[in-house]
A and B are shown apart, each in its own frame.
Chain A
Amino acid sequence: MRATPAAAAASTDLDLRDELARVHSQAYAWAVRCCRDHRAEAEDVLHEAYMKVLDGRARFEGRSSFKTWLLGVVRHTAREHARRGWLRAIRLERWWRERNDDESTAGEDGRIGELRSALGRLSKRQQEVLHLVFYQNLTINEAAEVLAMPVGTARTHYERGKHRLRALLGESEER
């Protein structure tokens, strides 16, 4: 959805809620990706991001699509969350969450499991760009905007990540 700044300023809280609800599943998937597949943490991050949007701490000015902008807010919130998280009692709590999250993704279909496993072996940036392009159906320009990086850098991550991902999937297919 493209919106002018004026239209965005006029949007009510109800409109924002509708917009958030519309892109909720994509935002959730992105939050999970930003939290390195920790679903419980992703829920906390998403809640914080939604609150920022609804409180007006993050203001949509219509310079991109609502979804692109929201994914940027989610990513920013996840980074803040991660910075605060270092203090969490020697990571024991995180370990416990990870353990529970692993259980939730256990028993995944073969090919999807291979995809996730191969993605996990790419660099963080490559994973993010490929997720935004293939999973979220964004263009490379939009992905660069979400990740706050130059388009050329995003394109490089995209090409190298895609190449490596194919190689890794090919390897697992041969086995």
Chain B
Amino acid sequence: MESRDRELEGLFDAARARDERQVPPFATIVAPRRARGRAPRLGFALAVAATLLIGVAVWRLATPDQPKIVIAFTPGDMYVPTDYLLDMMSFPRAGEIPRIGAADWYPVPLADDASPDTRRTP
């Protein structure tokens, strides 16, 4: 063998001697796989799950809300379609004999100061 090969051999021998100090014991390798290998995997899985959760949360917060449908209604705007029946009861000419074809009902005009639910009283 060339002397240069011996030089390489010497280097590899030194590397081997150094590595032998770091070899894990045979019993450790043969023993059933302990949690050492699994713990980082579990931690890794948890980290991935946490990242996903944070991502979903951020996405939900960053997405603008859908426009809300607001039904605005106030008592004053309400119109009860059967009001005319009440008008009939309190109509001044209620005592008159109804005539065929007479316009005996009409929408109640509200007074300016009257509240929307004001009803005419007899």
Interface residues of A (CB under 8 A from B): 17, 20-21, 24-25, 28-29, 32, 39-40, 43-44, 46-47, 50, 54, 89, 92-93, 96, 104, 108-109, 111-112, 115-116, 134-135, 162, 165-166, 169
Question: Chain A contacts of B40 at CB under 8 A?
Answer: 93, 96
A104 and B18 CA atoms in complex are apart in Å by 12
Q: Contacting B24 at CB < 8 Å: which of A43, A92, A134? A: A43
- The B interface is mostly helix, strand or loop, or mixed, namely helix
When the two chains form their complex, are residues A135 and B30 in contact, meaning their CB atoms are under 8 A apart? no
Number of A-B contacts (CB under 8 A): 64
Interface residues of B (CB under 8 A from A): 4-5, 8-9, 11-12, 14-16, 18-20, 22-24, 26, 29-30, 33, 37, 40-41, 44, 48
Q: Contacting A28 at CB < 8 Å: which of B8, B12, B24? A: B24
Which of B4, B9, B15 has the most chain A CB within a 10 Å cutoff? B15
When the two chains form their complex, are residues A135 and B18 in contact, meaning their CB atoms are under 8 A apart? no
When the two chains form their complex, are residues A24 and B15 in contact, meaning their CB atoms are under 8 A apart? no
When the two chains form their complex, are residues B30 and A20 in contact, meaning their CB atoms are under 8 A apart? yes
Question: Chain A contacts of B20 at CB under 8 A?
Answer: 25
Q: How far is the CB of B97 from chain A (nearest CB, A)?
A: 94
Q: Contacting B29 at CB < 8 Å: which of A47, A108, A166? A: A47
A89 and B29 CA atoms in complex are apart in Å by 25
A25 and B11 CA atoms in complex are apart in Å by 18
Closest to A134 in B: B12
When the two chains form their complex, are residues A162 and B11 in contact, meaning their CB atoms are under 8 A apart? no
When the two chains form their complex, are residues A135 and B16 in contact, meaning their CB atoms are under 8 A apart? yes
When the two chains form their complex, are residues A47 and B18 in contact, meaning their CB atoms are under 8 A apart? no
Q: How far is the CB of A70 from chain B (nearest CB, A)?
A: 13
Additional A-B contacts beyond A28-B24, A43-B24 (20; CB < 8 A): A17-B30, A24-B23, A28-B23, A28-B29, A29-B16, A32-B19, A39-B22, A43-B29, A46-B29, A47-B33, A93-B41, A96-B40, A111-B11, A112-B14, A112-B15, A115-B12, A115-B15, A116-B15, A135-B15, A166-B8
Closest to B20 in A: A25
A25 and B28 CA atoms in complex are apart in Å by 13
A104 and B40 CA atoms in complex are apart in Å by 18
Closest to A24 in B: B26
When the two chains form their complex, are residues B33 and A44 in contact, meaning their CB atoms are under 8 A apart? yes
13 CB < 8 A contacts A-B: A25-B19, A29-B16, A40-B37, A44-B37, A50-B29, A54-B30, A96-B40, A104-B22, A111-B11, A111-B14, A115-B12, A116-B15, A135-B16
